Structure 1
Amino acid sequence: MVNFRGSSHSKSSSIFSRRSSPLSIMLYVFILFAFSIFIFILYSKDILEDEEKKSPSISEMKPKSEQLPDDILWDAPFSYGLRPCVKPSARYKGAQGYDRYMTVRSNGGLNQMRAGIADMVAVAHIMNATLVIPQLDKRSFWQDTSIFSDIFDEIHFIMTLQTDVRIVKELPKELESAPRARKHFSSWSGVSYYEEMTQIWKDYQILHVAKSDSRLANNDLPLDVQRLRCRAFYHALRFSPAIENLGKKLVERLQSRSERYIALHLRYEKDMLSFTGCTHGLTEAESEELRVMRENTNHWKIKNINATEQRIGGLCPLTPKEVGIFLQALGYPPSTLIYIAAGEIYGGNAHLSELTYRFPNVVYKETLASKGELKGFSNHASQSAALDYIISIESDVFIPSHSGNMARAVEGHRRFLGHRKTVTPDRRGLVALFDMLESGVQKEGSSFSHLVRKLHKNRQGGPRQREGAPSGVKGRARSRLEEHFYQNPYPECICGSKITVRWT
């Protein structure tokens, strides 16, 4: 060891003791300089790599919309081999009712009337009555003057149900001035209630029903009665040829624009916001306008509503901004084609822009059809809503912003047709997440998207049995809080599997 060090030292001394030429000195300095540069670069690279591992880049810090596979975004849920089944049992007998007539005045918007008419078909069957083609509501918010044949295929309706109930276009001439019993049937009534009502025929030949909505219970009815309701709702109540033809054209135009499309029932309309008392995101002037409208609408019984409590309870329709955040969190790209199935959006572009800046590829009937094609539907809200219904049924994905009559009817129809994908927002859960965004506790991005998708994992329109009322609810309120029959006609009108299906 000592000898080695000694020899090295002596060599170095001899070298530096020599007189070196200027060229050799320059070469030595150049090599030393180059080696120093190499060491510096190598060391600096290690430092930069360590710093990059510690600190994410600016692009990584920005919230990203995770791109999900198409099958997750668009494919219908697994249906377990279930299929529509509406045929009557071997014991079923149709009603004749040749000398007993039931006239009906339907109430509400399009889908409230459709459900009510289907129920009246079943009631006429139970009471063994001849059903006169129902009168439609002309006094609702929309002031639509349409008659039955303007919206529905009247002949098809009569012929489809001819083995179930006798249906005529109008009362016989000799009975037009005959006395009639006027009845407002109790809501959510069962078969025994209507069997007792047959006592009316002892004194009257004509029974007039003042309202048609929610006259039958959702559950605990005979199988044949439930299947008759389905035959009436899904088969007999076909829209008029004019509506069906234009609806088909609009669906084809949507499909020519994009491989897939979402039908969004954006229930952000003046009547809905006023009725529910929901004002989140509105100006003071808009909120006051809605309050005045609610105050002046006589048949809306509740006048004073706490908007904050309504929203926290999940009772408000999602705002356009909230819908945009929701769709983005689900993973749909900005280029997604979205059809707005709704009437006039309250506040117009001022509110709608909060959706369209995230999803600019938004279309309506007015952008798909010409003015000439829509001319016959102007000032006829129910006929216009029927076009929205057709387009929503045929969409690849249906998403309602509120659980009203249209949303329930479309969801149930899509279940009946094979459980087509329907994403039903958990509004109560979403409000909590939206408030976290507004307060800064949560930011949009992958973690937020994960929370939203987890919340809606079992809200995709897959097979499940119709839900009953919440536990602890008793009396007539129980019937009112049950899931609507036309929102989910399983198990009576959907069958084919021996497995008890409970999935969503």
Structure 2
Amino acid sequence: MVNHRGHHSKNLSTFRNRKSSFLSFTLYVIILFALSIFIFMLYSKDILDDEHNTPLLRVENSKHKQLLENQLWEAPSSHGLHPCVKPTSKYKAAPVLDRYMTVRCNGGLNQMRTGIADMVAVARIMNTTLVIPQLDKSSFWQDTSTFSDIFDEVHFIKSLQQDVRIVKELPKELASLPRARKHFTSWAGLSYYEEMMELWKDHQVIHVAKSDARLANNYLPLDIQRLRCRALYHALRFSPSIESLGKKLMERLRSRAKRYIALHLRYEKDMLSFTGCTYGLSDAESEELRVMREKTSHWKIKNINSTEQRISGLCPLTPMEVGIFLQALGFPRSTLIYIAAGEIYGGERRLLELTSRFPNIVFKEMLATQEELRTFSNHASQTAALDYIISVESDVFIPSHSGNMARAVEGHRRFLGHQKTITPDRKGLVELLDKLEAGLLEVSSFSSLVNQLHKNRFGAPRKRGAAPLGIKGRARSRLEESFYQNPYPECICKSETGMR
């Protein structure tokens, strides 16, 4: 009896324990289920919030990206300035006199172009008839092109007929007469050429052996300065064949991208040899450049310290340095870059240092057909004219060295409305590049410093730079900014009276 009751109590206790366990398990399941629903609801809300907010974030990011891109490409404000080359009311038509000036140009395309513009002004000052200049055929490029091969000769004569009388050739009866052969002094002023007019007493023809830098940058009459601009920007139009192909190449560039950079990569054999810059080159390449410099008689300086040249900012930037510079400025890898240059020293191997960072690079040989370029082959000045056209019309122009073309293109772009031109501060940039290479600068800090260094080097309007204080005479002229690099204020102004 006792045993039966004990057994029953034990069974009841077991039942109660099982019931309690079942209820605990059920409660646990319910709590877990409720928690799962709560988490799901919360997560769903986040998803819905994300779906609602993401398009807005994308729009904001897109706007920010577009703003940065516009800042990268947009030209500086011209502040209402415009070309002004019209003569003053005191300017008179050119007199017709029976005396002539023949000219032999020297240098590459842009050295000859600016020299011809100078000779137009000199002919005006000396009251002489200008014979169409002979172009340099003995420079580094050995180009046999004549004036009419490169320029529109008829347009040149006609557009300047109120300024200077220009003829295609010397009259036959004067061809055998003795000539006064002159090397006019460099950067000469008005009084010098007025003195040179004494030559007309004994000669009917003056032959000028060199045309480059024959006029001062400053302190010339306003009408003479504006005549130089009319000659360079209006009268010296390229030949129809060059203009036509240049336009086609630009259209093909625009079909590839909305915007493009024209990079004057002056990393060519003659420039490296002339400047004595051998940074990054092999011993064999350095020796080849030294021998070339030694053999070029009209290059006066033979022994050059390459390291000192580079530290002083006198070397053209290497393809690698240009690539790092463009990255630091913020240009994306996809940027279309037109290389306005001749053959790059070191070829594809050296160019790879740039294309590895910016692969979207083109040369004129990639834009034009072989048939289109056939007539230009072995005529470096004519192909340089194509580079000039494309560079002037580019969205951004960047020269790797301040040579004749770099200065001429910059000046032309200023004349046309201060189109964006980025002129690298090579001295400051080399210092930063060396610190970056040595691990003394982080990439982000390097980019910030590069942009700070170039914030005022985008081609904004400014008056032409003068020589340092205390410098006088011809030394002053050498140290002044070139008139053709920045023709402001004589040929760029706000006044409506000077427009033409």
TM-score (structure 1 length as normaliser)? 0.86
Structure 1 residue runs of 4 or more that deviate by more than 2 Å after TM superposition: 18-32, 94-98, 470-475
Q: 1:47-446, aligned counterparts within 5 Å?
A: 69-445=68-444
Find the aligned partners of 2:219 and 2:120 in 1 and give their Cα distance.
18
Find the aligned partners of 2:221 and 2:441 in 1 and give their Cα distance.
50
Find the aligned partners of 1:473 and 1:193 in 2 and give their Cα distance.
20
CA displacement, residues 151-175 of structure 1 (integer Å, 9 cap, x when unaligned): 0000000000000000000011111
Find the aligned partners of 1:372 and 1:69 in 2 and give their Cα distance.
41
The runs of 5 or more residues in structure 1 that have no matched partner are 1-17, 39-65, 499-504
CA displacement, residues 84-142 of structure 1 (integer Å, 9 cap, x when unaligned): 00010111123324211000000000000000000000000000000000000000000
Q: How far apart are residue 448 of structure 1 and its match?
A: 1.9
Find the aligned partners of 1:29 and 1:282 in 2 and give their Cα distance.
80
Q: 1:448-487, aligned counterparts within 5 Å?
A: 448-487=446-485
Q: How far apart are residue 68 of structure 1 and its match?
A: 6.4
Q: How far apart are residue 67 of structure 1 and its match?
A: 8.6
Find the aligned partners of 2:194 and 2:264 in 1 and give their Cα distance.
39
Give the direction of change, closer, same or farther, for the CA distance of 1:28–1:242 in structure 2 (3 Å limit).
same
Retained in 1: the 8 A contact 2:334–2:359? yes
* 3-state SS of 1:136 partner: coil
CA displacement, residues 187-206 of structure 1 (integer Å, 9 cap, x when unaligned): 01001100010000000000
* One-letter code aligned to 2:400: S
Retained in 1: the 8 A contact 2:263–2:338? yes
Find the aligned partners of 2:358 and 2:244 in 1 and give their Cα distance.
29
Match of 2:486?
Answer: 488
Find the aligned partners of 2:361 and 2:457 in 1 and give their Cα distance.
24
Give the direction of change, closer, same or farther, for the CA distance of 1:110–1:31 in structure 2 (3 Å limit).
farther
Q: How far apart are residue 474 of structure 1 and its match?
A: 3.0
Structure 2 residue corresponding to 1:21, chosen from 13, 17, 20 = 17
* 3-state SS of 2:261 partner: strand
Find the aligned partners of 2:308 and 2:162 in 1 and give their Cα distance.
50
Retained in 1: the 8 A contact 2:252–2:367? yes
Retained in 1: the 8 A contact 2:436–2:442? yes
Retained in 1: the 8 A contact 2:464–2:489? yes
Find the aligned partners of 1:411 and 1:480 in 2 and give their Cα distance.
18
Retained in 2: the 8 A contact 1:96–1:130? no
CA displacement, residues 220-276 of structure 1 (integer Å, 9 cap, x when unaligned): 000000000000000000000000000000001101111000000000000000100
Give the direction of change, closer, same or farther, for the CA distance of 1:31–1:270 in structure 2 (3 Å limit).
farther
Q: How far apart are residue 285 of structure 1 and its match?
A: 1.1
* One-letter code aligned to 1:226: Q
Find the aligned partners of 1:303 and 1:182 in 2 and give their Cα distance.
29
* Aligned-pair Cα RMSD in Å: 2.1
Find the aligned partners of 1:236 and 1:113 in 2 and give their Cα distance.
14
Q: How far apart are residue 478 of structure 1 and its match?
A: 1.0
Find the aligned partners of 1:232 and 1:22 in 2 and give their Cα distance.
110
* 3-state SS of 1:232 partner: helix
Percent identity at matched positions?
A: 75
Find the aligned partners of 1:30 and 1:224 in 2 and give their Cα distance.
103
CA displacement, residues 64-91 of structure 1 (integer Å, 9 cap, x when unaligned): xx99622211111000100000010111
Give the direction of change, closer, same or farther, for the CA distance of 1:406–1:21 in structure 2 (3 Å limit).
same
Match of 1:3?
Answer: none
* 3-state SS of 1:464 partner: coil
* One-letter code aligned to 1:457: K
More deviation, 22-31/169-178: 22-31
Match of 1:61?
Answer: none
Find the aligned partners of 1:452 and 1:208 in 2 and give their Cα distance.
49
Find the aligned partners of 1:410 and 1:403 in 2 and give their Cα distance.
11
Give the direction of change, closer, same or farther, for the CA distance of 1:393–1:128 in structure 2 (3 Å limit).
same
Retained in 1: the 8 A contact 2:94–2:161? no
* 3-state SS of 2:375 partner: helix
Find the aligned partners of 2:93 and 2:231 in 1 and give their Cα distance.
13
* One-letter code aligned to 1:265: H
